[in-house]
Amino acid sequence: MKILKYVGLIVLIIIAIPLISALFISRDYGVVEKLIIERPIAEVYEFTKYLKNQDQFSKWALMDPDMEKYYEGEDGTVGFVAGWKSENPDVGHGEQEILAIKEMERIDYELRFIEPFESTDKAYLAYESLGPNQTEVTWGFEGHMSYPMNVMIPLMNIENMLADDFQTGLSNLKKIMEK
């Protein structure tokens, strides 16, 4: 009987530690990655303002070339929605909508993840001309995980994982634009 008490206490401690830890971990996280592309800002902006073009450089879009895609509205304008459904659990099912456009400066998106988990987050692409043939592109993401799932942010190293994915996407974009 004494052994059952100890086992029960150990199980309780194992369950309590992550729940208590999650109280002290931020529920919000973000990623910002930048890359310089040797092309004029107008060219880079004109290519990237179309969500359909992300299929050519986004790491996630390239992970499943057979995913089902659907679109609503006029690409490159506020309100346009690009959706995807994939059997690959790393890609899942979701939508991306253009929320705001500031010509040649920034495009804001809402990402709505449906599967394998539900989440709504914000992302953006920002542009800065560094010269007549040089553009700095910034890809940013702002995410949120509710308690107690926020304990996964440091455990899975989510910010670094996303940073690597964004850097891969920006590198792919650079190769396309500098051809």
Number of domains the chain is built from: 1
Q: Do residues 82 and 51 touch, judged by C-beta distance below 8 A? A: yes
The model's pTM is 0.84
State residue 27's pLDDT score: 78
Task: Note the pLDDT tens digit of each residue in 45-61.
Answer: 999 999 999 999 999 88
Region 14-27: what's the mean pLDDT? 75
pLDDT band at 74 (very low <50, low <70, confident <90, very high): very high
Name the nearest CA neighbour of 58 among 132, 131, 166. 166
What is the radius of gyration, based on Cα positions, of the chain? 20
Give me the domain span that covers residue 146: 2-177
User: What's the pLDDT at 53?
Assistant: 97
Q: Domain of 170: which CATH number?
A: 3.30.530.20
CA atoms within 13 A on the CB side of 4: 1
**Cβ atoms of 109 and 92 closer than 8 Å:** no
Give the mean model confidence (pLDDT) for residues 72-94: 94
List beta partners, residue 73.
none
Name 142's bridge partners: 30, 122
* E-strand stretches of 17-133: 28-37, 68-72, 81-85, 93-102, 106-115, 119-131
Q: Which of 83, 86, 107, 87 is nearest to 96 (CA)?
A: 83
Span 128-177, pLDDT tens digits = 999 999 999 999 998 877 787 778 777 777 777 888 999 999 999 999 99
pLDDT recorded at residue 71: 96
